[in-house]
Amino acid sequence: MYRNLFDKLKEGPLKISILGSGNWASAISKVVATNAKNNYLFENEVKMWVRDELVNGENIVDIINKKHENIKYLKGVTLPHNLVAYSDLSRVINTADLLIFIIPSQYLESVLMLIKENQSIRIEKHAKAISLTKGFIIKNNQMNLCSKYITNFLDIPCSALSGANIAMDVAMEKFSEATIGGNDKETLLIWQRVFDLPYFKINCVNETVGVEIFGALKNVITLASGFCDGLNASSNSKSAIIRIGVKESFLFGKTFFNYSDVNVFFESCGLADIITSFLGGRNARCSAEFVKCNPKKTWEQLENEVLKGQKLQVSNFFYYEENWLCINDSITVFLHPIGCSGCYPSL
């Protein structure tokens, strides 16, 4: 048994596996597989877990492996040939040294349960994980960061990656940056080598809390920003919403996680992610359409029509926050009746 990843490297390259196959997962898979192909630290083949699904009468796993394209979630982008899709979780996880979780937050727990209950799955003792999931897991009256939830569920150290990233921009190799947070400096060095490319630059920080808090809460801010767009509100109104949302993000971090470090906010996972999201993110687009559409449509309808089946990163948050975010006059308290009760927004 290896003590750490560097001991494992003495025996040979590290094996990378990715769990998830959506828009963001596919874009990141291109980054990771490109690095694996050109780096002696990593085994050439990168495994990707994909749920069995028919697209135009053909299994999506077969499409990815034959055409090297995820035609459902990242149409038009060629994926590296060393990225291999599997529907069998055990084939993806067993023997992997590095596990990358890119599962929507509303499905993360069910996937972790599948892993834990599958008797054929064996996670290596030295393996490390990283979460690219944005959001919170609310369980047993506790609000959990995704990386911490993965660690507690699977007993595996888990870092976090978050940043100002539109998936298609990354897939098209337009310059982007991201932040990786973790507690182990040696593991951070390896994760940086996994993701860093000339067009996708990585900066590492020695904690995960701020990285994940800002990445999750920016979805609430951009939802409110999208409502402003749908109302054709002024730039002044939109700026006020964003300013208040940033202030409340810090209040949220202090209230629920005793977190108040301002430095991480100025990394890609903080301010830059907020800016990118309200300029072109999926939550802003859908919330603007939510206001404008007549007759009214559900969030699920908008996911199918506007996002082509991708999941909103914030809609499930509505159904939990009413019992949690009792801070007077907070943005989220005002968003809940608009998003869930059919109230029309006004300024």
Which residues line the annotated binding site for NAD(+)?
Answer: 167, 282, 311, 313
Query: Residue 275 class from Cβ within 10 Å (0-12 exposed, 13-18 middle, 19+ buried)?
Result: middle
3-state SS class at 114 = helix
Please write down the long-range contacts of 88-92, taking CB distance under 8 Å and 24 or more positions apart.
89/19, 89/49, 89/114, 89/115, 89/118, 89/121, 90/118, 90/120, 90/121, 91/47, 92/17, 92/18, 92/19, 92/47, 92/48, 92/49
Identified catalytic residue from 218, 254, 296, 297: 218
Nearest to 94 by CA among 123, 125, 126: 123
Cβ neighbours, 10 Å, residue 37: 15
Q: Which two tokens stand for residue 127?
A: 């393996």
43, 177, 7, 89 alpha-carbon torsion, rounded to 10°: -50
208 with 181: CB under 8 angstroms?
yes
Task: Indicate the annotated binding residues for substrate.
Answer: 134, 282-283
Q: Is 247 a catalytic residue?
A: no
- The Cα–Cα gap between 185 and 45 comes to 26
Beta-bridged to residue 83, according to DSSP, are: 46
Going from the C-alpha of 68 to that of each of 1, 76, 79, 120, 196, the distances in angstroms are: 35, 10, 5, 28, 22
Task: Indicate the annotated binding residues.
Answer: 134, 167, 282-283, 311, 313
Active site residues: 218
